[in-house]
Structure 1
């Protein structure tokens, strides 16, 4: 786990105002300078996306000086800071990307904001809504751009589905079915820091991948979950000799504030499913379905004459066309979506207002939904979402 050490006491002060983002760094000359906290898989993803978006990745810090040195060599980063606190204090860094275990997110993001840095923080933004709310309001007070990588928003065909729903093409939304299935924790011998609540927080499967599903659902619908009824399941009582206290699966029934009903199912123990994120929305006129493993198309269902719509810039709604950066027939995928997200973060830092940028407020929203899901599973009762 990343040692937050000296930054632990730099968490944001008590909340006072509603959150937002937006200080423009007009005095900066040249590309944004990025510091990466965390040298694992997500650190590599963020590093590559930052470079593709035109920034300079100038420094990295990790759980120790040795770990940072290894990450710097592997990722081709010039400076390896001996501690996270040292990286956050570095005056040569404009943006800090937090790619560390979940329980460290709040302290690290808060310290970076307190140091005047823009922040990209991996989800979940925090392991409690109180911490997440404090971060939202700290970012607002500081006037800094603070974003969470809900990157599935950045597939062009997700934007196309969203635009069709917003313009009323599918009619009144009646119901929604969403699922996110993986199999990487299928066996009792599959061990990862996320399994342990002391590192990953009180929720695993739902906080880890259910947060993406909920964000995608609410973003595409333009509606929010009002209340949930859920059950969770822990398939393996122990892993690697340690008791498991987080869920492998979660099933949720929900109602939205707009009157739609639906189901969500999240699993990290579904054999053969690698990253199967699917959202299916039924309206009074049409249905629309997006599958992350087939991101170049959406399915449009009608009582007569259903069709598969492929990405074609000439035929897409404007917000979808903006993200369609290569001609039809040249596939776009997860890496492109992640880069598009980072590019929009950096555009916001430079004063633009890109459509659909997921901020710390969206990270707070995901934490609140996760808390409601866990509470409902515990009480076996419906719970409202704050």
Structure 2
């Protein structure tokens, strides 16, 4: 790989721009961009400041001036493009879901392992310092045994019957798109911060797939609830969780991410990013002075930076890989099965 990682970005939508910003923040170069047509690719290259465009995604993957492939396409294209990049021995950063079925996700994750290259998935909410602080405190035993994990991920972009675009296509998002699109982010975040795994669940999906509620149990004996909806008016991106233990609870709100809410017998305490009370794990991702809010793009920048560090042979703690993408597919499979059968189901093993 070149001294500066040369990234090829496949996909010219919003998320492609987010990846381009993150590549540069991580010290990389946006070498090529591919889109749904050569004309769109050329326009995207100009917009994103790429060095050149590619006529097709396959041409981009095979190009000598692309070291790492970023896949930012509709869901059904993830598997064939990631497979081609892995076959070429190139690291991959692939948007979730890895695949539109558990079987395909399992095969793709296995291919990444066999190829021996770095393959990551942007579960970027892990990179908020407040989330890292919650994780560090749970691991240190500050809360005592956790007994309840609860929260929600609420958006409103589907309220009033607004078009879901390609996500509304059964082959892309399907009837369970709220959970597959945002519910998996909540599950990844809570499993990451708590250190526990959801083992069985009871789910109900309604509203044409725009809302899913889940009751679950974990491998450590905790219970939990979560709600994912894309029709919750006034909720732009309300990703919230609470990890409740015997001695303390830890609360996170993505729309107000600068503080971790620590609940105790004497009331609630806000532990703010950059304060002396925060851990080294949180400080590593605090890149701006206290009082200067960090947000989603900062998290994405940190994710890509850590992905590139792993490519360079120094994998950081907590980097979400294709194994985590497979885990999300297993949870989605369980939610689909439970919703259709109205029964408790075991989460498939990866």
TM score, norm. by length of structure 2: 0.97
2:267 aligned counterpart, secondary structure? coil
Paired residues for 1:279-358 under 5 Å: 279-358=241-320
1:352 aligned counterpart, secondary structure? coil
Deviation at 1:277, TM superposition (A): 0.0
Q: Are 2:185 and 1:212 equivalent residues in the alignment?
A: yes
User: Which digits, 9 at most, give the CA deviation of each residue in 1:308-342, with x for residues without a partner?
Assistant: 11112533211111111122112111111110000
Change (3 A) 1:140 1:313: farther
Aligned-partner Cα distance in 1 for 2:9–2:100: 21
Aligned-partner Cα distance in 2 for 1:223–1:360: 19
Q: Does structure 1 retain, via aligned residues, the 8 Å contact 2:100–2:171?
A: no
What residue number does 1:188 align with?
A: 161
Of 117, 123, 128, the match for 2:90: 117
Aligned-partner Cα distance in 2 for 1:202–1:218: 24
Q: Does structure 1 retain, via aligned residues, the 8 Å contact 2:153–2:238?
A: yes
What residue number does 1:15 align with?
A: none
What residue number does 1:243 align with?
A: none
Aligned-partner Cα distance in 2 for 1:91–1:138: 22
Aligned-partner Cα distance in 1 for 2:214–2:264: 27
Q: Does structure 2 retain, via aligned residues, the 8 Å contact 1:43–1:99?
A: yes
Change (3 A) 1:29 1:37: closer
Q: Does structure 2 retain, via aligned residues, the 8 Å contact 1:252–1:264?
A: yes
1:133 aligned counterpart, secondary structure? helix
After TM superposition, what 4+ stretches of structure 1 lie above 6 angstroms from structure 2?
none
Aligned-partner Cα distance in 2 for 1:97–1:29: 17
User: Which digits, 9 at most, give the CA deviation of each residue in 1:219-240, with x for residues without a partner?
Assistant: 00111000000100025xxxxx
Aligned-partner Cα distance in 2 for 1:167–1:184: 38
Of 100, 104, 127, the match for 2:100: 127
Deviation at 1:202, TM superposition (A): 5.4
2:172 aligned counterpart, secondary structure? helix
Aligned-partner Cα distance in 2 for 1:189–1:157: 33
Aligned-partner Cα distance in 2 for 1:93–1:191: 32
Aligned-partner Cα distance in 2 for 1:200–1:251: 17
Of 205, 208, 213, the match for 1:251: 213
What residue number does 2:57 align with?
A: 84
Q: Does structure 2 retain, via aligned residues, the 8 Å contact 1:148–1:358?
A: yes
Q: Does structure 2 retain, via aligned residues, the 8 Å contact 1:227–1:256?
A: yes
User: Which digits, 9 at most, give the CA deviation of each residue in 1:278-306, with x for residues without a partner?
Assistant: 01111011111000011100111112232
More moved, 365-374 vs 129-138 = 129-138
What residue number does 1:103 align with?
A: 76
What residue number does 2:229 align with?
A: 267
Q: Does structure 2 retain, via aligned residues, the 8 Å contact 1:178–1:217?
A: no
What residue number does 2:140 align with?
A: 167
Aligned-partner Cα distance in 2 for 1:110–1:275: 32
1:197 aligned counterpart, secondary structure? coil
Change (3 A) 1:171 1:36: same
Q: Are 2:127 and 1:154 equivalent residues in the alignment?
A: yes
Q: Are 2:336 and 1:363 equivalent residues in the alignment?
A: no
Deviation at 1:50, TM superposition (A): 0.6
- Paired positions, count: 348
Q: Does structure 2 retain, via aligned residues, the 8 Å contact 1:197–1:203?
A: no
Q: Does structure 2 retain, via aligned residues, the 8 Å contact 1:160–1:317?
A: yes
Aligned-partner Cα distance in 1 for 2:164–2:89: 37
TM score, norm. by length of structure 1: 0.88
Deviation at 1:189, TM superposition (A): 3.5
2:262 aligned counterpart, secondary structure? strand
Q: Does structure 1 retain, via aligned residues, the 8 Å contact 2:33–2:44?
A: yes
